[in-house]
Protein backbone atom coordinates (compact mmCIF):
# COMPACT_ATOMS: atom_id res chain seq x y z
CA UNK A 1 0.00 0.00 0.00
CA UNK A 2 1.24 3.50 -0.76
CA UNK A 3 1.31 6.06 2.02
CA UNK A 4 -1.52 8.54 2.09
CA UNK A 5 -0.92 11.99 0.65
CA UNK A 6 -0.54 14.63 3.38
CA UNK A 7 -2.93 17.45 2.45
CA UNK A 8 -2.77 20.90 4.05
CA UNK A 9 -5.17 23.73 3.40
CA UNK A 10 -4.10 27.24 4.31
CA UNK A 11 -6.66 30.04 4.29
CA UNK A 12 -6.11 33.81 4.23
CA UNK A 13 -5.46 36.84 2.00
CA UNK A 14 -2.97 35.38 -0.46
CA UNK A 15 -0.50 37.77 -2.07
CA UNK A 16 1.57 36.44 -4.94
CA UNK A 17 4.44 37.98 -6.90
CA UNK A 18 3.58 36.38 -10.23
CA UNK A 19 5.37 39.07 -12.21
CA UNK A 20 7.70 42.07 -11.79
CA UNK A 21 4.78 44.43 -11.12
CA UNK A 22 1.51 44.42 -9.22
CA UNK A 23 0.97 41.45 -6.91
CA UNK A 24 -1.94 39.06 -7.49
CA UNK A 25 -4.34 38.97 -4.56
CA UNK A 26 -6.82 36.24 -3.63
CA UNK A 27 -8.93 37.43 -0.70
CA UNK A 28 -9.62 34.80 1.92
CA UNK A 29 -8.64 32.08 -0.49
CA UNK A 30 -6.95 28.74 -0.02
CA UNK A 31 -3.54 27.35 -0.79
CA UNK A 32 -3.78 23.58 -1.16
CA UNK A 33 -0.55 21.77 -0.36
CA UNK A 34 0.01 18.07 -1.02
CA UNK A 35 3.08 16.48 0.58
CA UNK A 36 4.65 19.93 0.87
CA UNK A 37 4.02 20.81 -2.78
CA UNK A 38 1.52 23.49 -3.80
CA UNK A 39 -1.41 21.99 -5.71
CA UNK A 40 -3.12 25.32 -6.34
CA UNK A 41 -4.46 28.64 -5.07
CA UNK A 42 -8.27 28.77 -4.97
CA UNK A 43 -10.82 31.52 -4.27
CA UNK A 44 -13.33 28.79 -3.34
CA UNK A 45 -12.40 25.45 -1.87
CA UNK A 46 -12.67 22.75 -4.56
CA UNK A 47 -14.96 19.78 -3.94
CA UNK A 48 -12.08 17.33 -3.43
CA UNK A 49 -10.76 19.30 -0.44
CA UNK A 50 -14.08 19.71 1.39
CA UNK A 51 -14.24 18.48 4.98
CA UNK A 52 -10.46 18.52 5.51
CA UNK A 53 -8.92 20.53 8.36
CA UNK A 54 -7.87 24.08 7.44
CA UNK A 55 -5.06 26.23 8.90
CA UNK A 56 -7.31 29.23 9.16
CA UNK A 57 -5.64 32.64 8.83
CA UNK A 58 -8.80 34.38 7.66
CA UNK A 59 -8.24 38.15 7.56
CA UNK A 60 -4.47 37.85 7.76
CA UNK A 61 -1.95 38.32 4.96
CA UNK A 62 -0.15 35.34 3.42
CA UNK A 63 3.02 36.39 1.61
CA UNK A 64 5.61 34.26 -0.16
CA UNK A 65 8.67 33.23 1.87
CA UNK A 66 11.62 35.57 1.44
CA UNK A 67 14.88 34.69 -0.34
CA UNK A 68 18.03 36.34 1.00
CA UNK A 69 20.34 35.78 -1.94
CA UNK A 70 23.49 37.27 -0.39
CA UNK A 71 24.70 37.36 3.21
CA UNK A 72 27.76 36.51 5.27
CA UNK A 73 27.01 34.27 8.26
CA UNK A 74 30.32 34.90 10.10
CA UNK A 75 29.66 38.65 10.00
CA UNK A 76 26.57 38.26 12.21
CA UNK A 77 28.63 39.13 15.35
CA UNK A 78 29.55 42.52 13.82
CA UNK A 79 25.98 43.42 12.86
CA UNK A 80 25.36 47.14 13.24
CA UNK A 81 29.02 48.00 13.86
CA UNK A 82 31.99 49.44 12.02
CA UNK A 83 30.27 50.99 9.07
CA UNK A 84 32.56 54.02 8.99
CA UNK A 85 34.97 52.67 6.38
CA UNK A 86 34.73 51.93 2.65
CA UNK A 87 34.84 48.32 1.45
CA UNK A 88 38.56 47.50 1.25
CA UNK A 89 39.43 49.19 4.57
CA UNK A 90 36.28 47.74 6.19
CA UNK A 91 37.37 44.23 5.18
CA UNK A 92 40.91 44.69 6.53
CA UNK A 93 39.99 46.55 9.71
CA UNK A 94 36.93 44.66 10.93
CA UNK A 95 35.71 41.85 8.73
CA UNK A 96 38.63 39.46 8.32
CA UNK A 97 39.32 39.65 12.08
CA UNK A 98 35.71 38.72 12.86
CA UNK A 99 35.56 35.87 10.37
CA UNK A 100 38.87 34.41 11.64
CA UNK A 101 37.10 33.67 14.96
CA UNK A 102 35.16 30.90 13.19
CA UNK A 103 38.15 28.58 13.39
CA UNK A 104 36.35 27.68 16.66
CA UNK A 105 33.45 25.40 15.68
CA UNK A 106 31.76 25.75 19.11
CA UNK A 107 31.66 29.50 18.75
CA UNK A 108 30.29 29.00 15.22
CA UNK A 109 27.55 26.74 16.61
CA UNK A 110 26.35 29.43 19.04
CA UNK A 111 26.38 32.23 16.49
CA UNK A 112 24.81 30.17 13.71
CA UNK A 113 22.04 28.81 15.92
CA UNK A 114 20.99 32.38 16.74
CA UNK A 115 21.37 33.55 13.14
CA UNK A 116 19.22 30.75 11.71
CA UNK A 117 16.52 31.36 14.33
CA UNK A 118 16.47 35.05 13.39
CA UNK A 119 16.15 34.19 9.69
CA UNK A 120 13.08 32.05 10.32
CA UNK A 121 11.45 34.55 12.70
CA UNK A 122 11.70 37.14 9.97
CA UNK A 123 10.30 34.92 7.22
CA UNK A 124 13.52 34.19 5.32
CA UNK A 125 13.11 30.58 4.24
CA UNK A 126 15.81 30.37 1.54
CA UNK A 127 19.33 31.75 1.37
CA UNK A 128 22.52 31.88 -0.66
CA UNK A 129 24.96 32.38 2.15
CA UNK A 130 28.72 32.76 2.67
CA UNK A 131 30.46 31.01 5.51
CA UNK A 132 34.10 31.71 6.42
CA UNK A 133 37.15 29.84 5.08
CA UNK A 134 36.68 27.14 7.73
CA UNK A 135 35.29 23.82 6.47
CA UNK A 136 34.14 22.71 9.94
CA UNK A 137 32.30 25.94 10.73
CA UNK A 138 30.71 25.77 7.28
CA UNK A 139 29.36 22.29 8.05
CA UNK A 140 28.03 23.66 11.36
CA UNK A 141 26.26 26.44 9.43
CA UNK A 142 24.71 23.85 7.10
CA UNK A 143 23.51 21.79 10.07
CA UNK A 144 21.97 24.80 11.77
CA UNK A 145 20.19 25.97 8.62
CA UNK A 146 18.69 22.51 8.12
CA UNK A 147 17.72 22.26 11.78
CA UNK A 148 15.89 25.60 11.55
CA UNK A 149 14.14 24.62 8.30
CA UNK A 150 15.97 27.07 6.03
CA UNK A 151 17.08 25.77 2.61
CA UNK A 152 19.47 27.03 -0.04
CA UNK A 153 23.14 27.22 -0.95
CA UNK A 154 26.08 27.59 1.43
CA UNK A 155 29.67 28.41 0.49
CA UNK A 156 32.96 27.79 2.21
CA UNK A 157 34.88 30.91 1.23
CA UNK A 158 38.15 30.63 -0.72
CA UNK A 159 40.71 33.39 -0.10
CA UNK A 160 44.41 32.77 -0.67
CA UNK A 161 45.63 36.30 -1.31
CA UNK A 162 45.68 39.61 0.62
CA UNK A 163 43.26 38.23 3.18
CA UNK A 164 44.78 39.17 6.52
CA UNK A 165 43.72 36.89 9.38
CA UNK A 166 41.66 34.74 6.98
CA UNK A 167 44.43 33.95 4.53
CA UNK A 168 44.68 30.32 3.38
CA UNK A 169 47.48 28.79 1.36
CA UNK A 170 46.32 27.69 -2.08
CA UNK A 171 46.95 24.07 -1.15
CA UNK A 172 44.95 24.40 2.06
CA UNK A 173 42.12 26.18 0.29
CA UNK A 174 41.82 23.34 -2.25
CA UNK A 175 42.15 20.54 0.29
CA UNK A 176 39.59 22.02 2.68
CA UNK A 177 37.16 22.74 -0.16
CA UNK A 178 37.29 19.07 -1.23
CA UNK A 179 36.81 17.87 2.35
CA UNK A 180 33.86 20.24 2.83
CA UNK A 181 32.26 19.09 -0.45
CA UNK A 182 32.62 15.46 0.54
CA UNK A 183 31.03 16.04 3.94
CA UNK A 184 28.28 18.22 2.47
CA UNK A 185 26.79 15.23 0.68
CA UNK A 186 24.78 14.36 3.81
CA UNK A 187 22.59 17.47 3.63
CA UNK A 188 19.28 17.59 1.82
CA UNK A 189 17.90 21.12 2.22
CA UNK A 190 21.19 22.92 1.84
CA UNK A 191 23.68 22.43 -0.95
CA UNK A 192 27.24 23.63 -1.49
CA UNK A 193 28.10 26.53 -3.81
CA UNK A 194 31.68 27.47 -4.75
CA UNK A 195 32.62 30.82 -3.22
CA UNK A 196 35.78 32.60 -4.31
CA UNK A 197 35.33 35.66 -2.06
CA UNK A 198 36.10 38.18 -4.80
CA UNK A 199 38.90 38.65 -7.31
CA UNK A 200 41.24 40.62 -4.98
CA UNK A 201 41.16 37.77 -2.39
CA UNK A 202 42.06 35.04 -4.87
CA UNK A 203 45.19 34.02 -6.74
CA UNK A 204 44.83 33.11 -10.41
CA UNK A 205 45.67 29.57 -9.36
CA UNK A 206 42.68 29.19 -7.02
CA UNK A 207 40.31 30.87 -9.50
CA UNK A 208 41.45 28.45 -12.18
CA UNK A 209 41.09 25.45 -9.84
CA UNK A 210 37.59 26.52 -8.74
CA UNK A 211 36.49 27.15 -12.33
CA UNK A 212 37.53 23.63 -13.34
CA UNK A 213 35.95 22.09 -10.24
CA UNK A 214 32.72 23.91 -10.93
CA UNK A 215 32.63 22.62 -14.52
CA UNK A 216 33.55 19.06 -13.53
CA UNK A 217 31.01 18.77 -10.73
CA UNK A 218 28.29 21.06 -12.08
CA UNK A 219 28.53 23.33 -9.03
CA UNK A 220 27.19 26.89 -8.96
CA UNK A 221 29.40 29.86 -8.09
CA UNK A 222 28.84 33.00 -5.99
CA UNK A 223 31.06 36.05 -5.61
CA UNK A 224 31.13 39.87 -5.56
CA UNK A 225 31.28 42.28 -8.51
CA UNK A 226 31.82 46.01 -9.04
CA UNK A 227 30.72 47.04 -5.58
CA UNK A 228 33.15 49.87 -4.93
CA UNK A 229 35.30 52.17 -7.10
CA UNK A 230 38.61 51.42 -5.34
CA UNK A 231 37.89 47.69 -5.61
CA UNK A 232 37.32 48.02 -9.37
CA UNK A 233 40.64 49.91 -9.76
CA UNK A 234 42.44 47.20 -7.77
CA UNK A 235 40.99 44.47 -10.00
CA UNK A 236 42.16 46.39 -13.10
CA UNK A 237 45.71 46.42 -11.70
CA UNK A 238 45.61 42.72 -10.85
CA UNK A 239 44.21 41.67 -14.23
CA UNK A 240 45.41 44.17 -16.86
CA UNK A 241 44.41 41.71 -19.59
CA UNK A 242 40.72 42.01 -18.62
CA UNK A 243 38.76 44.95 -19.94
CA UNK A 244 36.20 44.71 -17.13
CA UNK A 245 35.87 43.13 -13.68
CA UNK A 246 33.45 40.37 -14.79
CA UNK A 247 36.03 39.10 -17.27
CA UNK A 248 38.32 38.09 -14.38
CA UNK A 249 35.64 35.50 -13.51
CA UNK A 250 34.96 34.59 -17.13
CA UNK A 251 38.66 33.95 -17.76
CA UNK A 252 38.56 31.09 -15.24
CA UNK A 253 35.21 29.52 -16.17
CA UNK A 254 33.36 31.04 -13.21
CA UNK A 255 31.03 33.30 -15.22
CA UNK A 256 28.20 31.07 -16.34
CA UNK A 257 24.53 30.15 -16.09
CA UNK A 258 23.30 30.86 -12.54
CA UNK A 259 26.53 32.37 -11.25
CA UNK A 260 25.57 34.81 -8.48
CA UNK A 261 27.20 38.23 -8.36
CA UNK A 262 26.49 40.46 -5.36
CA UNK A 263 26.17 44.24 -5.71
CA UNK A 264 27.08 45.25 -9.31
CA UNK A 265 26.65 48.86 -8.14
CA UNK A 266 28.95 50.26 -10.82
CA UNK A 267 28.35 47.74 -13.62
CA UNK A 268 27.85 49.61 -16.89
CA UNK A 269 25.70 48.40 -19.79
CA UNK A 270 28.49 46.25 -21.17
CA UNK A 271 28.91 44.43 -17.85
CA UNK A 272 25.12 44.15 -17.45
CA UNK A 273 24.85 42.69 -20.97
CA UNK A 274 27.37 40.02 -20.00
CA UNK A 275 25.08 39.12 -17.06
CA UNK A 276 22.06 38.93 -19.35
CA UNK A 277 23.88 36.77 -21.93
CA UNK A 278 24.98 34.23 -19.35
CA UNK A 279 21.91 34.34 -17.08
CA UNK A 280 24.00 35.53 -14.15
CA UNK A 281 21.97 36.54 -11.08
CA UNK A 282 22.76 40.00 -9.74
CA UNK A 283 21.95 40.43 -6.04
CA UNK A 284 21.11 43.98 -5.03
CA UNK A 285 22.01 44.81 -1.42
CA UNK A 286 20.74 48.35 -0.80
CA UNK A 287 21.42 48.64 2.92
CA UNK A 288 25.02 47.56 2.50
CA UNK A 289 25.58 49.85 -0.48
CA UNK A 290 24.59 52.83 1.68
CA UNK A 291 26.27 51.74 4.93
CA UNK A 292 29.73 51.31 3.46
CA UNK A 293 29.20 54.10 0.94
CA UNK A 294 29.54 51.90 -2.14
CA UNK A 295 27.04 53.80 -4.30
CA UNK A 296 23.50 53.94 -5.64
CA UNK A 297 22.69 50.87 -7.73
CA UNK A 298 20.45 51.66 -10.72
CA UNK A 299 18.22 48.79 -9.73
CA UNK A 300 15.09 49.61 -11.68
CA UNK A 301 17.02 50.39 -14.83
CA UNK A 302 18.86 47.09 -14.58
CA UNK A 303 15.56 45.23 -14.17
CA UNK A 304 14.13 47.04 -17.21
CA UNK A 305 17.19 46.11 -19.27
CA UNK A 306 16.55 42.44 -18.47
CA UNK A 307 19.16 41.72 -15.78
CA UNK A 308 18.03 38.92 -13.45
CA UNK A 309 17.90 40.71 -10.10
CA UNK A 310 17.11 39.59 -6.57
CA UNK A 311 17.77 41.04 -3.11
CA UNK A 312 20.27 40.36 -0.34
CA UNK A 313 20.77 41.61 3.20
CA UNK A 314 24.58 41.38 2.82
CA UNK A 315 24.93 41.03 6.57
CA UNK A 316 27.01 42.72 7.99
CA UNK A 317 27.72 45.37 5.36
CA UNK A 318 23.95 45.50 5.57
CA UNK A 319 22.69 45.89 9.13
CA UNK A 320 19.15 44.60 8.50
CA UNK A 321 18.56 40.85 8.48
CA UNK A 322 14.75 41.02 7.88
CA UNK A 323 14.09 40.90 4.15
CA UNK A 324 11.13 43.25 4.59
CA UNK A 325 13.69 45.87 5.66
CA UNK A 326 15.89 45.04 2.70
CA UNK A 327 12.85 45.33 0.44
CA UNK A 328 11.98 48.81 1.72
CA UNK A 329 15.68 49.68 1.50
CA UNK A 330 15.52 48.84 -2.21
CA UNK A 331 12.51 51.15 -2.55
CA UNK A 332 14.38 54.02 -0.84
CA UNK A 333 17.51 53.46 -2.93
CA UNK A 334 15.49 53.54 -6.15
CA UNK A 335 13.79 56.74 -5.00
CA UNK A 336 17.15 58.33 -4.27
CA UNK A 337 18.05 57.63 -7.90
CA UNK A 338 14.71 58.98 -9.09
CA UNK A 339 15.39 62.19 -7.13
CA UNK A 340 18.96 62.49 -8.41
CA UNK A 341 17.90 61.97 -12.04
CA UNK A 342 14.84 64.20 -11.66
CA UNK A 343 12.58 61.33 -12.53
CA UNK A 344 14.52 60.11 -15.57
CA UNK A 345 14.95 56.84 -13.70
CA UNK A 346 11.59 55.78 -12.25
CA UNK A 347 11.56 54.24 -8.79
CA UNK A 348 10.51 50.71 -7.89
CA UNK A 349 6.93 50.04 -6.81
CA UNK A 350 6.20 48.00 -3.70
CA UNK A 351 4.94 45.14 -5.90
CA UNK A 352 8.13 45.17 -7.94
CA UNK A 353 10.34 45.11 -4.84
CA UNK A 354 8.19 42.30 -3.37
CA UNK A 355 8.86 40.32 -6.55
CA UNK A 356 12.63 40.88 -6.16
CA UNK A 357 12.51 39.70 -2.53
CA UNK A 358 10.55 36.52 -3.31
CA UNK A 359 9.91 35.09 -6.79
CA UNK A 360 13.11 36.44 -8.37
CA UNK A 361 15.20 34.51 -5.84
CA UNK A 362 12.86 31.51 -5.82
CA UNK A 363 13.57 31.06 -9.54
CA UNK A 364 17.16 30.32 -8.57
CA UNK A 365 15.84 27.25 -6.74
CA UNK A 366 13.80 26.14 -9.75
CA UNK A 367 10.44 27.58 -8.68
CA UNK A 368 7.86 29.17 -10.93
CA UNK A 369 6.67 32.65 -9.90
CA UNK A 370 4.10 33.14 -7.12
CA UNK A 371 2.51 30.24 -5.23
CA UNK A 372 2.64 28.20 -8.43
CA UNK A 373 1.51 24.57 -8.50
CA UNK A 374 4.58 22.37 -8.27
CA UNK A 375 6.53 24.74 -5.99
CA UNK A 376 7.20 23.57 -2.45
CA UNK A 377 5.42 25.87 -0.02
CA UNK A 378 7.43 28.84 1.29
CA UNK A 379 5.09 31.27 3.01
CA UNK A 380 4.88 33.94 5.69
CA UNK A 381 1.66 34.79 7.55
CA UNK A 382 1.41 38.39 8.79
CA UNK A 383 -1.07 39.67 11.35
CA UNK A 384 -1.44 43.43 10.86
CA UNK A 385 -3.83 43.80 13.79
CA UNK A 386 -1.35 45.81 15.88
CA UNK A 387 -0.74 48.50 13.25
CA UNK A 388 -2.25 51.97 13.80
CA UNK A 389 -6.00 52.11 13.31
CA UNK A 390 -6.76 53.67 9.93
CA UNK A 391 -9.45 56.20 9.06
CA UNK A 392 -11.32 53.78 6.81
CA UNK A 393 -11.36 50.16 5.73
CA UNK A 394 -8.20 49.45 3.78
CA UNK A 395 -8.05 47.38 0.63
CA UNK A 396 -5.99 44.20 0.84
CA UNK A 397 -3.40 45.81 -1.46
CA UNK A 398 -3.11 48.78 0.92
CA UNK A 399 -2.76 46.42 3.87
CA UNK A 400 -0.07 44.50 1.99
CA UNK A 401 1.89 47.70 1.29
CA UNK A 402 1.63 48.80 4.88
CA UNK A 403 2.73 45.38 6.10
CA UNK A 404 5.78 45.56 3.85
CA UNK A 405 6.83 48.78 5.58
CA UNK A 406 5.68 48.07 9.13
CA UNK A 407 5.72 44.34 9.84
CA UNK A 408 8.46 42.91 12.03
CA UNK A 409 9.12 39.48 13.50
CA UNK A 410 6.46 40.20 16.16
CA UNK A 411 3.78 40.40 13.45
CA UNK A 412 4.83 37.19 11.67
CA UNK A 413 2.55 34.51 13.13
CA UNK A 414 3.50 31.52 10.98
CA UNK A 415 6.29 30.58 8.57
CA UNK A 416 6.31 27.67 6.12
CA UNK A 417 9.61 26.53 4.62
CA UNK A 418 10.19 23.77 2.10
CA UNK A 419 6.64 22.52 2.54
CA UNK A 420 6.56 22.42 6.34
CA UNK A 421 5.52 24.77 9.07
CA UNK A 422 8.81 25.94 10.61
CA UNK A 423 7.41 28.57 12.97
N1 LIG B 1 33.58 41.97 -1.07
C2 LIG B 1 34.40 40.98 -0.67
N3 LIG B 1 34.05 40.54 0.56
C4 LIG B 1 32.99 41.26 0.93
C5 LIG B 1 32.17 41.25 2.09
O6 LIG B 1 32.36 40.50 3.04
N7 LIG B 1 31.15 42.15 2.11
C8 LIG B 1 30.90 43.00 1.08
N9 LIG B 1 29.89 43.86 1.16
N10 LIG B 1 31.66 43.02 -0.01
C11 LIG B 1 32.69 42.16 -0.09
FE1 LIG C 1 28.89 40.53 0.48
Q: Which of 73, 202, 262 to mutate to test the pocket of ligand 1 (most atoms within 8 A of CB)?
A: 262
Ligand 2: centre distance to CA 60 (Å): 34
Instruction: State in Å: Cα 91 to ligand 1 middle.
Output: 7
Decide: 72 in ligand 1 pocket, CB within 6 A: yes
- pLDDT grade, residue 3 (50/70/90)? confident
What mean pLDDT comes out for the span 213-226? Answer: 98
Residue 144 neighbours by CB under 8 Å, 6+ apart: 109, 112, 113, 115, 116
H or E segment and range at residue 353: helix 350-357
Mean pLDDT across 17-23: 98
Q: What is the per-residue pLDDT across 54-64, written as a single tens digit (0 to 9) for each?
A: 999 999 999 99
Inter-axis angle of helices 396-406 and 323-340, to 10 degrees? Answer: 100
Give the mean model confidence (pLDDT) for residues 18-38: 98
Q: What is the mean pLDDT of the chain?
A: 97
C-beta of residue 132 within 8 angstroms of C-beta of residue 74: yes
Q: Which of 92, 93, 197, 285 to mutate to test the pocket of ligand 1 (most atoms within 8 A of CB)?
A: 197
0.75 exceeded by the pTM?
A: yes
Decide the pairing of beta strands 24-34 and 7-16: antiparallel
Ligand 1 pocket, residue 198 CB under 6 Å: yes
Whether 288 is in the pocket of ligand 1, judged by its Cβ within 6 Å, is: yes
Ligand 1 pocket check for 287: Cβ under 6 Å = no
User: Given this model, what pLDDT does residue 1 score?
Assistant: 46
Distance 132 CA to ligand 1 centre (A): 12
Tell me the per-residue pLDDT of 282-319, one tens digit each, with 9 for 90 and over: 999 999 999 999 999 999 999 999 999 999 999 999 99
Confidence of residue 2 (pLDDT cuts 50, 70, 90): low
Q: Could you give the residue ranges of the DSSP H alpha helices within 17-156? A: 87-90, 96-100, 105-121, 135-148
Q: What is the mean pLDDT of residues 24-30?
A: 98
Give the number of the ligand closest to the Cα of residue 228: 1
Q: How confident is the model at residue 183 (pLDDT cuts 50, 70, 90)?
A: very high
Q: Which of 45, 43, 8, 46 is closest to 27 using CA atoms?
A: 43
Question: CB burial class (10 A; 0-12, 13-18, 19+) of residue 411?
Answer: buried
pLDDT digits (tens, 9 = 90+) for 71-122: 999 999 999 999 999 999 999 999 999 999 999 999 999 999 999 999 999 9
Q: Are 72 and 27 in contact (CB under 8 A)?
A: no
Mutate to test the pocket of ligand 1, among 73, 129, 131, 227 (most ligand atoms within 8 A of CB): 227
Which residue's CA is minimally distant from atom 3 of ligand 1? 197
Give the residue, by CA position, lying nearest to ligand 1 atom 8. Answer: 317
What residues have a C-beta under 5 A from ligand 2, the ion? Answer: 262, 314
CA distances from 29 to 12, 35, 43 (A): 6, 20, 4
Nearest-CA residue for ligand 1 atom 7 is 317
Cα 142 from Cα 116, distance rounded (Å):
10
Structure letter (DSSP) for residue 394: P
Q: Is the CB of 70 under 6 A from ligand 1?
A: no
In this structure, the number of other CB atoms found within 10 A of the CB of residue 222 comes to: 26
Question: Is the pLDDT assigned to residue 141 strictly greater than 50?
Answer: yes
Amino acid sequence: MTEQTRIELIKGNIIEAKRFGNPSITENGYIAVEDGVIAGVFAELPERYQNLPVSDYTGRLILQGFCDMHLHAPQFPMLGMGMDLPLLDWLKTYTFKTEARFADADYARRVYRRLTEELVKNGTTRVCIYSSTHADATLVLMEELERAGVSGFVGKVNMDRASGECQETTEESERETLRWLEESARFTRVKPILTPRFTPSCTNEILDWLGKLSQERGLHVQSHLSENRAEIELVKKLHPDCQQYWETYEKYGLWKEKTIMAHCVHSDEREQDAMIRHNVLCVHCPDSNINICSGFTPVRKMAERGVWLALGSDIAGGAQLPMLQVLTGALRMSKARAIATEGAEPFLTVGEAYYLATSAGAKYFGDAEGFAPGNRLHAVVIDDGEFPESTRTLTTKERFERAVYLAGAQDIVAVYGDGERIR
